[in-house]
Amino acid sequence: MNFTRRTALALSTLALASASMLTPGQAEMLDVEKDELKFGFIKLTDMAPLAIAYEKGYFEDEGLFVTLEPQANWKVLLDRVITGELDGAHMLAGQPLAATIGFGTKAHIVTPFSMDLNGNGITVSNEVWELMKPHLEKGPDGKPVHPIKADALKKVVDGFKAQGRPFNMGMVFPVSTHNYELRYWLASGGIHPGYYSPSDVSGQIGADALLSVTPPPQMPATLEAGTIDGYCVGEPWNQAAVFKGIGVPVITDYEIWKNNPEKVFGLTKEFTEENPNTTLALTKALIRAAKWLDENDNANRAEAVEILARSEYVGADAEVIANSMTGTFEYEKGDKRAVPDFNVFYRYYATYPYYSDAVWYLTQMRRWGQIPEAKSDEWFHETAKSVYLPDIYLKAARMLVDEGHVAEADFPWDTDGYRAPTPAADIIDGIAYDGKAPNDYLDSLTIGLKGEEVVGG
């Protein structure tokens, strides 16, 4: 806690109240149950809403005095939220769901706030890229046509197999978006990414490409050392490979699934029940931060890059962060292209915790055996509703609208919690996704478990 900032805020609030200067649009500050909070994050650019809520004083506006603390890896982060060492954290969207259903550490983790859309990429080593290039379609300028499909990589993986070489790829955590996006892309090109089973949680059963966990900041060094042949990670660690000259990003997750859900802000169910006003207050602050990040066509992104580059946040070179955070993405060195929606924090109702987003993650857990047995559609919906908390989100949003901080049109007030089906044209394999029909969706996928199938049976 910063005593000076806190004292100044208290004095300012008292002065305003005594002078009766509050306008009708300003609501009274929530009576928070806990005002000193510690939140965790991993050093990725999509932790930005936390950094901005802190730096712009949005937490303090809600009477919250927050410490932000980077964590070593996703497992440590989750464990510390479960034990209460952290009050909440920037989380992989799969973490609250997996914890709640008992895949890995069992705990009821919930989220009232989705942190962003898109933001990830898949990078391969220079050796693999050179082997892929003869199989890529070229445009009139001689550069590869994007999106690059995994069909080109399959020929490389088959070549490795013929030589008796394993093809190794890194992802950040077994229930990460990165794991599921990498698997999705590989499978769309006929490369089997492997299954999980209750007795073998390696995720490599029957795999053509062997996926394993590497913490995000260690991805470039692990690639450079030759331990892995490629990886899927969030920024700035794909662009870092470009700057170091050690690898080439071949596809973004925006190209795999346009405007796919990414991180969430996770809390224990117990925390939200014991601290309902605190939960509302922190959600309000995060919504305001997300708005700031996207407003005026990303006009604030340059300032956001400067903030994120600081050692207490992402701690990477500002130039590397800016390469994707400001509306562009560099693939092969010198091949920089406009990707204005690579990072989305507020547009397209990005911060609303949609049940359909949760259902997609659960389908991928079932597809690859992390959920080992068939589940009914009802189970998928009930599980999503036990973890994603849009009622809290909309209550926080309504307060912000009443206070004049955000616009009424910024929120999906009438939604049933499910996005409209994602059309086939927006997904790399041409298969549409409807969150209301999870088993039909699983049945439509070529590679992966479906129906009553189990691994090994």
Q: Is the pLDDT of residue 18 over 60?
A: no
- Bin 200: left if φ > 0, else alpha if -120 < ψ < 50, else beta: beta
Using alpha carbons, select from 188, 195, 143, 167 the residue that is nearest to residue 330.
143
Q: Is the pLDDT of residue 317 over 50?
A: yes
Cis peptide preceding 236, ω within 30 of 0: yes
73 and 45 in contact (C-beta within 8 Å)?
no
Per cent of the chain over pLDDT 90 is 93
Strand order in the sheet with 109-114: 65-70, 36-41, 88-91, 264-268, 109-114
331-384, pLDDT tens digit by residue?
A: 999 999 999 999 999 999 999 999 999 999 999 999 999 999 999 999 999 999
- Quote the CA–CA distance of 357 and 60 in Å, as a whole number: 30
**DSSP line for 430-454:** S--B-TT-HHHHHHH-SSS--TT--
Q: Which of the four pLDDT bands, split at 50, 70 and 90, describes residue 19? A: very low
- Quote the CA–CA distance of 215 and 210 in Å, as a whole number: 16
191-245, pLDDT tens digit by residue?
A: 999 999 999 999 999 999 999 999 999 999 999 999 999 999 999 999 999 999 9
3-state DSSP helix/strand/coil percent for the chain, to nearest 5?
45, 15, 40
Q: Is the pLDDT of residue 9 over 60?
A: no
Per cent of the chain over pLDDT 70 is 94
Q: What is the mean pLDDT of the chain?
A: 94
| pLDDT at residue 428 in the model | 98
**Which token pair is 143?**
């550069």
Mean pLDDT of 442-448: 98
| pLDDT at residue 28 in the model | 73
240-292, pLDDT tens digit by residue?
A: 999 999 999 999 999 999 999 999 999 999 999 999 999 999 999 999 999 99
177 and 235 in contact (C-beta within 8 Å)?
no
Q: Which of the four pLDDT bands, split at 50, 70 and 90, describes residue 313? A: very high
Please name each of the domains of the chain with its CATH number. 36-118+260-353+389-419 (3.40.190.10), 121-256 (3.40.190.10)
122 and 250 in contact (C-beta within 8 Å)?
yes
170-199, pLDDT tens digit by residue?
A: 999 999 999 999 999 999 999 999 999 999
| pLDDT at residue 27 in the model | 59
Q: Is the pLDDT of residue 2 over 90?
A: no
244 backbone dihedrals φ, ψ, rounded to 5°? -80, -15
Residue that has been written with the tokens 């928070």 in this structure: 32
- Residue 118's beta-bridge partner residues? 343
Q: Which of the four pLDDT bands, split at 50, 70 and 90, describes residue 457? A: low
- Quote the CA–CA distance of 409 and 391 in Å, as a whole number: 17
